Structure 1
Amino acid sequence: MQAAAQAAAADGLDGLLVTPGPDLLWLTGYQPTAITERLTLLVLRDDADPQLVVPILELPDAESAAGAGAVTMRAWRDGTDPYAAAAPLLRAEGTYAISDSAWAMHLLGLQNQLPESRYMSVTQRLPMLRAVKDTKELARMEAAGAAADATFGEIVEVPFAGRKETDVAADLARLLREFGHEQVDFTVVGSGPNGANPHHEAGDRTILPGDMVVLDFGGLMYGYGSDTSRTVCVGEPTSQMREVHEIVRAAQQTAFEAVRPGIACQEIDRVARRVITEAGYGDQFIHRTGHGIGLTTHEPPYMVEGEERPVVPGMCFSIEPGIYLAGRFGVRIEDIVTVTEDRGRRLNNTDRGLTIVE
């Protein structure tokens, strides 16, 4: 918490305001059982001890999770004004970074108490707050990646042809849980033309022989995220399917090899995009190359044009180039990568070649 407060001060802010969500969990270990209309607000300032404004009925859980003495609790009761309880902890004309997920009613309540105060999103002002993982976090990320790999190893053994996308998606969810995920967040199964939609929701389409199928799946294990994509073919692929898949594989590999401390995030995107563009499919690569991952599936840093921030050891992010041919098929290959002292290291290690399924 002290480091976060110091980061806010170094950025010219008067403090950091954290509402329930991944930042509060990361900073204090406290995750309310439900995010409700009642204000819970962690106030971090470089010139004061951490303070948590919390509903009195949730005080025991907050004290237990945050640890005695680590945070000063400022409890408020139903029927009183929680923003009046929070206001004395802030400077009347201060500028604060506040959680992206803060409810508008809470932000407006603070502004009503302190009309001269200003607020900016954490992602806007402190995007790297959770980007660099420590040893324990990396161990959890590795475990989640290994579980996703084990899931892929099993899913390619199940029948695809003649089954609905939702059937395969259910298999993916079951396997993720069997291999240790406590939460399944997404199971994309895009068969045939549906594979050209990067975020296709598994539907009732029956998977046919000859289909390319994009599989993109992940969730949380020990509280940290997994996210991997592979593209398989039901039976023998056409020559174009093999060609497109090989281009995406080469783009993904080239981008991975470019990872090293100090390289700009946008450069990783450029490297992958260059391979696909030179192969003639640049217009069919329609999304960024990657996103950070940790307590949430998508978080800074982003591997995208315009992101000049350098990667540093401990960052974790996806590398997932794709080619999407509307009305026909799509191909995406995705690994989570962490940055070491001199290069990148994959947290997903299943075969990136074109896998044939039945």
Structure 2
Amino acid sequence: MKMLTRRGFAAGAAVLPVLSASGVLRAAEPDLGGLRNLASGATPIGPDERRARIARAQALMKAHGIGAVLIESGSSLVYFTGVMWFRSERLTAAILPVEGEPCIVTPFFEEPSVRQTLGVAADVRVWQEDEDPLKLVAGFLRERKLDARPIGIEETVRYFAVDGLARALPGAKIVSANPVVRGVRMRKTAPEIALMQTATDVTIAAYRWTWPRVEKGMKPADIAALMNAATRHLGGAPEFALVLIGPAAAYPHGSRDPQVVADGQIVLMDCGCTVQGYQSDVSRTFVFGSASAEQRMVWDQVRAGQAKAFAAAQIGTPAGAVDDAVRGFYASLGYGPGYRLPGLSHRTGHGIGLDGHEPVNLVHGETMRLAEGMCFSDEPGLYLPGKFGVRLEDCFHMTATGPKWFSVPPISIDAPLG
């Protein structure tokens, strides 16, 4: 058996030097060919799944007395109809009626493109450049005799669309569609969870490939480039690759200060990808070289905080109680209190699915009770301004008997990938 170095090369093997993105002279990276596509067998969301989503939404509409729901381009449009379309000043939207097929409203010249991803039977209505698309929406509601019922608005719909609908349907009662859209989307089904699991598997595999290739003198962009290259080769679409080094790791979403890998420095990575649109979100923190006693202590405290959150996340528990469990534990160690620094300055976790951040959050005061199918990040970092920060982040989904990890947290700063 050949002796391998930390970077995976055979001891004594000839390696050609190359310049990294930051201009640091380093050894050439091994071929990505050793990585296999983990997402090649992923099953896309099909028509039956989308029809079931619409049926669940319609049941919630009846329960809440809502006649129809207006949805703009974005993740909710993809979720219910499959239509993958960008937002612009030209409205493309869906109306989900309390009964029957949905209606898609889109510009005339965009209809062929919109139909390419339409995944359910729908009434497609087009508008010309000199027409008002909200009049088409109003016309559909009148035809279905829904104009006298409350109209639910998906929470990301832009004001011009809401205002236009109100003008096209004077007297219409406009209400929030959160009880419907959130009510369906927050509870993930088995096909969704399978795609999120694959996305997480890709991210973990990319971490395992990237970590031993981090070298002294690298900048965040160098490390992110390695992570993204591995992610693509493993079958994921890179979504983000945040890398924070040394004191910059005390800022959860980064710093403009120069950062370079050096002996004894914390390297915090927060990375994710998508598979068939579904997201992963995993953070890992390690030390280049030998960790100090303080770095080890804080890393272990964060690991314990993450475990506290996971244990608190039980069916029927208010989401805010998960955050409270962590914050109380950290306060007992002398951090905070609350969101003060040094300590945990952000929520313990967020919902995740088609969007990287979805309702609801694991945050103080959130009363929504955890239910089967809900998915969350668990990331109770600790941040020490002027020194460093540590964040360990793994996502979990709620089963009938409690939480289940998408990725298993590491247990030691010496083995930061488990």
- TM-score normalised by the chain length of structure 2: 0.79
Q: Which of structures 1 and 2 has the bigger CA Rg?
A: 2
Counterpart of 2:245 (choices 191, 200, 217) is 191
- Which 4+ stretches in 1 moved above 4 angstroms? 91-94, 120-126, 201-204
Matches within 5 A, 1:1-358: 1-32=54-85, 34-67=86-119, 70-90=121-141, 91-92=146-147, 94-123=149-178, 126-182=181-237, 184-200=238-254, 204-282=258-336, 283=340, 284-349=343-408, 351-355=410-414
| CA deviation string 1:175-233 (max 9, x = no partner) | 22122112x22211111110011011687421221111211011211210010011111
Structure 2 unmatched runs, 5+: 1-53
Which one-letter code corresponds to 1:353 in the other structure? S
Take 1:220 and 1:201, find their aligned partners in 2: how far apart are those partners?
25
Closer/same/farther in 2, CA of residues 341 and 356 from structure 1, 3 Å limit: closer
**RMSD of aligned C-alpha atoms?**
2.2
Take 1:329 and 1:106, find their aligned partners in 2: how far apart are those partners?
45
Question: CA contact under 8 A between 1:141 and 1:294: conserved in structure 2?
Answer: yes
Closer/same/farther in 2, CA of residues 137 and 208 from structure 1, 3 Å limit: same
303-312 or 40-49, which deviates more: 40-49
**Secondary structure in 1 aligned to 2:183?**
coil
Question: CA contact under 8 A between 2:217 and 2:260: conserved in structure 1?
Answer: yes
* Aligned positions, number: 354
Which one-letter code corresponds to 1:164 in the other structure? K
| CA deviation string 1:124-157 (max 9, x = no partner) | 8743331111111111010001111111112210
Question: CA contact under 8 A between 2:83 and 2:119: conserved in structure 1?
Answer: no
Which one-letter code corresponds to 2:73 in the other structure? P
Question: CA contact under 8 A between 1:168 and 1:189: conserved in structure 2?
Answer: yes
**Secondary structure in 2 aligned to 1:111?**
helix
Closer/same/farther in 2, CA of residues 219 and 307 from structure 1, 3 Å limit: same
Closer/same/farther in 2, CA of residues 132 and 2 from structure 1, 3 Å limit: same
Which one-letter code corresponds to 1:222 in the other structure? Q
1:297: how far off? 0.2
Closer/same/farther in 2, CA of residues 214 and 119 from structure 1, 3 Å limit: farther
Take 2:376 and 2:218, find their aligned partners in 1: how far apart are those partners?
33
| CA deviation string 1:95-145 (max 9, x = no partner) | 333233323322222222224334455458743331111111111010001
Structure 1 unmatched runs, 5+: none
Take 2:295 and 2:288, find their aligned partners in 1: how far apart are those partners?
12
1:248: how far off? 0.6
Take 1:6 and 1:75, find their aligned partners in 2: how far apart are those partners?
28
Which one-letter code corresponds to 2:398 in the other structure? V
**Secondary structure in 1 aligned to 2:117?**
helix
Take 1:188 and 1:352, find their aligned partners in 2: how far apart are those partners?
22
Identity of aligned residues (%): 32
Take 1:153 and 1:2, find their aligned partners in 2: how far apart are those partners?
41
202-211 or 258-267, which deviates more: 202-211
**Secondary structure in 2 aligned to 1:54?**
strand
- TM-score normalised by the chain length of structure 1: 0.91
Take 2:149 and 2:256, find their aligned partners in 1: how far apart are those partners?
47
| Greater RCO, CA 8 A, separation 6+ | 1
Take 1:120 and 1:241, find their aligned partners in 2: how far apart are those partners?
50
**Secondary structure in 1 aligned to 2:62?**
helix
